[in-house]
């Protein structure tokens, strides 16, 4: 079946602009995660959605970052007033989430964001 | 907090050599442990997992055993191939929650 789909695959934008990154999880997966992969910081957790519960936003690096998940499916990560340090690969993952700690997360190919 | 420490790279090997990548963890509770792999130009893929102490995960000739007493989950493969060249990430999660990743180890296998 289809995996996690992310768009765009690449995004180049000027400093100060807003960007929106999209994630379409695997159908039926209730848990959705955003991570960031950058050279200096490795793989960092950003935000977690589980069903209809309030999201865990504890990994968002600043208030310029926000995310929403509509209808329990598609998610959008928005970065406002982008800065050069926002340049990274943004990864989305989803899982069935059994609540027992044994469900692997399935990753999309990521969006490579470059801030000029 | 939860954290993962894995062997620094890069690692360069010849084909058919033995590969070990060390991984140790710190966690409050009993985590599930994972190895993810990122091949050149591709996304992160699950390689193997173990969900409780003494479990052995295996896939594509790779193995890792969940050692609670040493808080370790070392990755091994007896005979590597050029196609195993990739970045390998050790990770843990508690209760289907966010993954905490190690820094990643770049492995290059020469023909």
Q: Tell me the pLDDT of chain A (116 aa) as tens digits.
A: 589 999 999 999 999 999 999 999 999 899 999 999 998 778 999 999 988 888 999 999 999 999 999 887 999 999 999 999 999 999 999 998 755 556 788 999 999 999 99
Q: What is the pLDDT of residue A98?
A: 58
Residue A108 in contact with partner chain B when CB distance is under 8 A: yes
- Residues in chain B with CB shorter than 8 Å from the CB of A93 are 44, 99
Q: Would you call B101 and A59 a contact, using CB atoms and an 8 Å cutoff?
A: no
Who among B89, B99, B104 is closest to A45 (CB)? B99
Q: Which residues of A44-67 are buried (b: 16+ CB within 10 A; e: fewer)?
A: bbbbbbbeeeebbeebbeeeebeb
Which residue in B has a C-alpha nearest to residue A39's C-alpha?
B103
Strand locations in chain B, DSSP E?
3-6, 11-14, 19-21, 23-26, 32-38, 44-50, 56-59, 62-65, 75-77, 86-93, 100-101, 105-110
pLDDT in tens, B33-42: 999 999 998 8
Question: Which of chain B's residues have a Cβ under 8 Å away from the Cβ of A33?
Answer: 98-99
Per-residue pLDDT, B96: 64
- Which residues of chain B have a pLDDT value below 50? none
B55 interaction partners in chain A (CB closer than 8 Å): none
pLDDT at B12: 97
Residue B28: predicted pLDDT: 86
pLDDT score for A1: 54
Q: A28: left (phi > 0), else alpha (psi -120 to 50), else beta? A: left
């Amino acid at each position: 079946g289809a995996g996690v789909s992310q768009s765009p695959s690449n995004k180049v934008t000027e400093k100060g602009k807003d960007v929106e990154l999209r994630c379409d999880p695997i159908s039926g997966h209730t848990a959705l995660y955003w991570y960031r992969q950058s050279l200096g910081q490795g793989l960092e957790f950003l935000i977690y959605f589980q069903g209809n519960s309030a999201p865990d936003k504890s990994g968002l690096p600043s208030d310029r970052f926000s995310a929403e998940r509509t209808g329990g499916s598609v998610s959008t990560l928005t970065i406002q007033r982008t800065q050069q340090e926002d340049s990274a690969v943004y990864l989305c993952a989803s899982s069935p989430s059994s609540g027992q700690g044994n469900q692997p997360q399935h990753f999309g190919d990521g969006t490579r964001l470059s801030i000029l | 907090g939860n954290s993962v420490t894995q062997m620094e790279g890069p690692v360069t090997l010849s084909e058919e050599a033995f590969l070990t990548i060390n991984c140790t963890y710190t966690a409050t509770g009993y985590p599930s442990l994972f190895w993810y792999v990122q091949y050149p130009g591709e996304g992160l893929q699950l390689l193997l997992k173990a969900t409780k102490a003494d479990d052995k995960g295996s896939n594509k000739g790779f193995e890792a055993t969940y050692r609670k007493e040493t808080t370790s989950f070392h990755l091994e493969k007896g005979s590597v191939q050029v196609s195993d060249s990739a970045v390998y990430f050790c990770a843990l999660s508690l209760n289907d929650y966010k993954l905490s990743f190690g820094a990643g180890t770049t492995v290059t296998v020469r023909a």
